[in-house]
């Protein structure tokens, strides 16, 4: 009980901010939470022929399974069958970035060396502190879309090997927001109506890194105006 209270206090006082993955940074599980969890029980695992999930909250298994189907469908629409690639997702912890030494919370990360996806587990007690594209991530559909985003990185890596960060993020944001149910896309549109579509010549890694959260939103709005751009992007990555 005392450990649970300590963890809750630490999570409360820590300044949380949602963060899309930066492919060059490292992370660690929230240390107190990890220590408590690993001392308490062995990891709970779900495995089928396509996905493996390490989880603490059963909601995450259902979310990963749905996100997998959605991501496979989106790649199929662009001519790629990615079902042969196995997906591993660790959804047990709240993730913390090391690079700024401030304990900044991130929502998801794809480790291209381990070929493994890490995503912060779904929990209304913790996730209500995240802001994902200007919306609170307590929404289960938004949480699921973040898994779609990271799975997109995983499949791009398998299909094309080393890919520039901006190409990774453009496709991942387009697929993520495309996965929104209609009601969520409506709410997303209202929250982000002040942001303009990025211009094609502005789509660079340097511009993205200056304001990654808003730039992801603006890239999707570019996609709406220029749906042919992503097709050209896939052709470029394929080498056609």
18/73: higher pLDDT? 73
DSSP assigned state of 102: S
How far apart are alpha carbons 80 and 9 in whole angstroms?
A: 46
The CATH-assigned architecture of domain 2-238 is: Orthogonal Bundle (1.10)
Q: Is the pLDDT of residue 26 over 60?
A: no
Joined tokens for residue 54 = 């390490």
Structure tokens at 45: 């695992």
Comparing 40-54, 94-108, 145-159, 207-221, which segment has the lowest mean pLDDT?
94-108
Of 96 and 53, more confident: 53
For residues 198 and 102, what is the distance between their CA atoms, to the nearest angstrom?
A: 30
Number of Cβ atoms within 10 Å of the Cβ of 207 = 17
Distance linking the first and last C-alpha atoms of the chain = 59
d(CA 57, CA 93): 10
CA geometry: angle at 139 spanning 135 and 29, to 5°?
85
Q: Nearest to residue 143, comparing CAs of 47, 57, 22, 33?
A: 57
Q: Residue 175 above 90 pLDDT? A: yes
| Least confident segment among 2-11, 80-89, 103-112 | 2-11
Integer Cα distance of 41 and 31 in angstroms: 16
- Give the list of residues 6+ apart from residue 207 with CB closer than 8 angstroms, or none: 198, 215
Pick from 234, 152, 222, 146: which is nearest to 184 by CA?
146
Q: What integer pLDDT is reported at residue 136 of this predicted model? A: 72
Measured between alpha carbons, how far is 197 from 4 in angstroms, rounded to an integer?
44
Give 34-81 as a DSSP string: HHHHHHH-PPEEEE-SSEEEEESSHHHHHHHHHHHHHHHHHHHHTT--
Q: Is the model more confident about 94 or about 229?
A: 229
Residue 188, CA distances (Å) to 106, 176, 194 in order: 20, 12, 11
pLDDT at residue number 103? 62
Half-sphere exposure of 239 (CA within 13 A, CB side): 4
| Residues 154 and 168 sit within 8 Å (Cβ to Cβ) | no
Q: What is the pLDDT of residues 186-198, one digit of tens each?
A: 999 999 999 999 9
């Amino acid at each position: 009980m005392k450990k649970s209270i300590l963890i809750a206090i630490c999570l409360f006082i820590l300044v949380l901010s949602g963060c899309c993955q930066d492919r060059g940074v490292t992370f660690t599980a929230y240390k107190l939470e990890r220590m408590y969890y690993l001392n308490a029980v062995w990891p709970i695992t779900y495995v089928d022929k396509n996905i493996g999930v390490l989880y603490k909250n059963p909601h995450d298994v259902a979310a990963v399974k749905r996100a997998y189907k959605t991501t496979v469908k989106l790649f199929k629409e662009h001519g790629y069958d990615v079902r042969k690639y196995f997906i591993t997702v660790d959804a047990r912890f709240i993730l913390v970035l090391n690079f700024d030494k401030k304990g900044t919370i991130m929502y998801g990360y794809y480790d291209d060396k381990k070929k493994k996806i890490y995503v912060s587990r779904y929990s209304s007690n913790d996730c209500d502190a995240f802001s994902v594209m200007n919306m609170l991530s307590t929404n289960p559909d938004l949480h699921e879309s973040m898994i779609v985003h990271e799975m997109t990185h995983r499949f791009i890596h398998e299909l094309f090997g080393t890919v520039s960060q901006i190409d990774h993020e453009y496709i991942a944001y387009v697929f993520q927001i495309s996965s929104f149910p209609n009601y969520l896309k409506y709410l997303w549109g209202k929250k982000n109506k002040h942001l303009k579509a990025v211009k094609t010549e502005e789509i660079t890694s340097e511009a993205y890194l200056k304001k990654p959260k808003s730039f992801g939103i603006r890239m999707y709005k570019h996609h709406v105006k220029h749906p042919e751009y992503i097709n050209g992007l896939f052709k470029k990555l394929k080498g056609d």
